[in-house]
Structure 1
Amino acid sequence: MTRPSFGVQVFIGMAIGLALGFVARQYDATGLADALKIIGDIFVQLLKALVVPLVFTAIVASIAALRDLNDAAKLVAGTFVWFAITALIAVSIGLTLGTLLQPGAQAGVSAAAAVRPDTAGSWLDFLRGLVPVNILGLEASTKLADGAAKTGLSFNVLQLIVVAIAIGVAAVRTGDAGAPFLAFNASALAIFRRILRWVVRLTPIGTGALLGSAVVRYGWQSLSALGTFAIAVYIGLALVLFVVYPLLLLANGMSPRRFFATAWPAIQLGFVSRSSIATLPVTEQVAERLGVPRSYAAFAVPFAATTKMDGCAAIYPAIAALFVAQYYGIPLHGTDYLLIVLVSVLGSAATAGLTGALVMLTLTLSTLGLPLEGAGLLLAIDPILDMGRTAVNVAGQALVPAIVAKRQGLLGEATTGEPALA
């Protein structure tokens, strides 16, 4: 008996997860809801556990390989240019929709929901965050939960990238003395890629559980008071994902159908996991299957996962900033619109691949001088919006390396069907 293709398996898993989520929510099946959450969390944890070793070894290997590529500097410059181009288009769409639909003027949310966020983005914190605090980019944070203080460790992927680039360059410049390290790194990368293949095989189960858990936790009832805002955000996301990206692909002589057939596993995982970082290993595999050289993909995709955020850092903060201004009756002028564009194009890295876009939103609001309490008005439906935002983020993180590789004449033959992970 022939097994269904990997894509069919994922869709079956999502359908089952969706059905189980509705059952758990409708009949208040606590045990089923807990099981969905635990399975989904374990899947995301497995992916996140691979991010640090994969990013580090892949970038070190890419530094070693980039020296053999012609015009490596052009590849890096082209990556930044296309990050800016796509962000500019996305934020323009967000500003247009926010101006036309006036979501803040039509909001039914109570002013009592306005609360100042515990954390807010700032340019100074972003610049300080670029400097690694340790070689793995590990950070400790303490939060109050259930009346008790709990300390947890997390990692700053942007700092990890900075460390990996520095070590990779140093190993290459060291010459013969650095050769054994580079050989060991290449071996470690191959091992971690093998483990990744095993984890990705769990995608049908993991995405189904994540989707079911999302249905149980969030539902859709909270959308009513902020319906116009949610509609504006999702229209903007759909325009970027299904109109702008296909047009850019066609303009560069690439097939949108083939792109989406190849990138869809990463896009749908981004949708249900709500994290570019958790999706990063899959996104890198997708980029390679699109024909992007491994040496370039290993650099571009991890960097994109922390700085390429068309959903979280362009569309959403643009519409949200206009929402806050309209809600409080604060007029915005041409210079304010230009500031929103500037923050979106230059400040994407402030989101750092994390779940949610609160950091980028507060950065935008503080730059414009708008009340940060306005961010609290939108928190009720943020998880629902974050699904679509992250899906667009991940699509863009695969798109830009493919376009740059194509324009540099490096794009190999794209493939479709089951991911090349076996």
Structure 2
Amino acid sequence: MKRFSFSLQLLLGLAVGVALGFAAKIWDVAWLSETLKQVGSIFVQLLKLAVPPLVFTAVLVSVANLRNVNGAARLASKTLLWFLITAFVSVSLAIGLGLLINPGQGVTLDTSAAKPADTQGTWLDFVTGILPTNVVTAFTEVNVLQIVFLGVVLGAAAMAVGEKAEPFLNLARSVLELVQKALWWVLRLAPIGTAGLIGKAVSTYGWELLAPLAKFSAGVYIGCFVVLLAVYPTLLAVWGKVSPITFFRNAWPALELAFVSRSSVGTLPLTQRVTVERNGVDRDYASFAVPFGATTKMDGCASVYPALAAIFVAQVFGVQLGVGDYLLIAFVSVVGSAATAGLTGATVMLTLTLSTLGLPLEGVGLLLAIDPILDMIRTATNVAGQLVVPVLVARSEGRLDTAVFNAPPQSLDRAPETRVPEPAAA
């Protein structure tokens, strides 16, 4: 396997997983389907196991070393601004696409069998998603936004305390190095995990479930591809002054893993490595932007999908939407995406959108059957946005190493660099 690049290994894993998945489904091989499920689940669990200590120590150390970083507040403001801009563009395109294709028009489904979503999205989720009620729970539930919050608070406290906090910061730096080393071992298993994840999806769901909702499903994929292949490349070329082709070449391993794992949080370690080692973004800035983006930058799950889904549900239930409703969809997508922090899938964001518009929450139940298939492209779009914004901000602030960005892709087969920022000299 060492003769193949990491990206090629992922592709091989993807191909093997699809073949095994179809074999398990066509010939009804229960043990093979269960094996694929377990392999994929174990891999994702290993990734999630490493995420809390990685995010916490990386953010904590970076905040404590802000005294070495000029313009930290400006970097954060620009990052948030680009998050809002790209979310608005994505949801606007999705609304336009929905009005063009009318995904729910002519669809006849038994709405009486649909049940309201068990998980309700509310605006309070935004606040509760940031502020932990229990420190331990934030880590055990892998609520990345809460972990980032704790890291920022303790990092700022350590910076304020000064010299007395150095023993604690040295411990955090050591833990960060250990986690980075362990993550490399987990990432080496990614081709096997990819085979299990995609194989499980194919063997469990196949593709026939798309038939009754073909127009809506096609709309989600088309909308995400427009964002991936038109919006992001335009921003990179016009504002970032970098090659979109080079960007996607560098980002491919993270996008591929996001597609099969359906988890921005699970892909976070690889996203972090790609951002720094392939796209050339400053390590200190990336340690903020990537974890923050993994919880709040969701153009697929929070912009494209809920916009199209809201139009679909309204048409299925015979509810007429007006200009004000479409503006509400855009507002919820741009401002409310952080309500999904710490939760999987797009159910919370969708219920938040439907409840804001006064649409029946039973509409969520109509879409659950095909959600895993749609979640693949949604998550890939999420992660692409989480990679694009740091490049744009770093480029504008002179924190993008264009030599690294334009160089042949850095091999991800080797162990990650474990250097962490050192404290400022006394």
Q: Output the CA distance in 1 between the equivalents of 2:355 and 2:334.
A: 16
Which residue is 1:366 aligned to?
355
Alignment counterpart, residue 178 of structure 2, candidates 186, 191, 202: 191
Quote the residue 1:261 is aligned against: 249
- Determine if contact 1:106/1:228 at 8 Å carries over to the other structure: no
- Report the 3-state secondary structure (helix = DSSP H, G, I; strand = E; otherwise coil) of the residue aligned with 2:141: strand
Which residues of 2 match residues 120-139 of structure 1 at below 5 A?
120-138=120-138
- Residue 80 of structure 1: aligned partner: 80
Q: Following the alignment from structure 1 to structure 2, what is the Cα–Cα distance between the partners of residues 121 and 310?
A: 17
Residue 334 of structure 2 is aligned to residue 341 of structure 1? no
Q: What is the rounded CA distance, in whole Å, between the counterparts of 1:62 and 1:388 in structure 2?
A: 32
Partners of 2:69 and 2:414 lie apart in 1 by 25
2:280 maps to what in 1?
291
The residue aligned with 1:65 is: 65
Q: For the residues of structure 2 that align with 1:421 and 1:91, how far apart are their CA atoms?
A: 39
Deviates more, 1:302-311 or 1:105-114: 105-114
- Counterparts of 1:79-228 in structure 2, within 5 Å, are 79-138=79-138, 154-228=141-215
Q: Structure 1 pair 299/187, CA: closer, same or farther in 2 (3 Å)?
A: same
Structure 2 counterpart of 1:119, one-letter code: T
Does structure 2 conserve the Cα–Cα contact (< 8 Å) formed by 1:136 and 1:155? no
- 8 Å contact from structure 2 (residues 108, 316) kept in 1: no
TM-score when normalising by structure 2: 0.93
Does the alignment pair 1:352 with 2:338? no
Q: What amino acid is aligned across from residue 163 of structure 2 in structure 1? A: D
Unaligned ranges ≥5, structure 1: 140-152
AA of the residue aligned to 1:392? T
- Structure 2 regions of 5+ residues with no counterpart? 416-426
CA distance in 1, matches of 2:126, 2:69: 31
For residues 369 and 112 of structure 2, what CA distance do their matches in structure 1 show?
A: 13
Give the alignment's Cα RMSD to 1 decimal: 1.5
- Secondary structure of the residue aligned to 1:379 is helix
Taking the TM superposition and a 5 Å limit, the aligned residue runs for 1:368-383 are: 368-383=357-372
**In the alignment, is the contact (CA less than 8 A) between 1:317 and 1:364 conserved in 2?**
yes
Q: Deviations over 1:226-247 (max 9, x none)?
A: 1110011110000001111111
Tell me how far 1:136 sits from its aligned partner: 3.8
Measure, in 2, the Cα distance between the counterparts of 1:131 and 1:246: 35
The residue that corresponds to 1:418 in the other structure is: 411
- Comparing 259-268 with 65-74, greater Cα deviation is found at 65-74
Match of 2:290 in 1: 301
Cα displacement (A) at 1:131: 1.6
| Cα distance, 1:263 vs structure 2 | 0.9
CA positional deviation for 1:100: 0.7
Displacement of 1:181 after TM fit? 1.1
Q: How far apart, in 1, do the equivalents of 2:120 and 2:217 lie?
A: 22
Per-residue deviation, 1:154: 2.0
> Is residue 264 of structure 2 the alignment partner of residue 276 of structure 1?
yes
CA offset at residue 64 of structure 1?
2.3
* Matched positions, count: 409
Runs (4 or more) in structure 1 with deviation over 3 Å come to 136-139
Cα shift readout 1:172-205 (whole Å, capped 9, x = no counterpart):
1100001111111111101100111111111111
* Aligned 8 A contact 1:268 1:391 in 2: yes
Q: Is the 8 A contact 2:355 2:361 kept in 1?
A: yes
CA positional deviation for 1:353: 5.1
Residue 239 (structure 1) aligns with: 226
CA displacement, residues 106-136 of structure 1 (integer Å, 9 cap, x when unaligned): 3243223421011110002332332211224
What displacement does 1:60 show?
A: 0.6
TM-score normalised by L of structure 1: 0.94
Cα 1:417–1:291, aligned 2, differ >3 Å: closer, same or farther?
closer
* Residue identity (%): 54
Asked whether the 8 Å contact 1:276–1:354 carries over to 2, the reply is no
Q: Distance in 1 between matches of 2:411 and 2:108?
A: 46
Determine the C-alpha separation between the residues in 2 that align with 1:43 and 1:178: 36
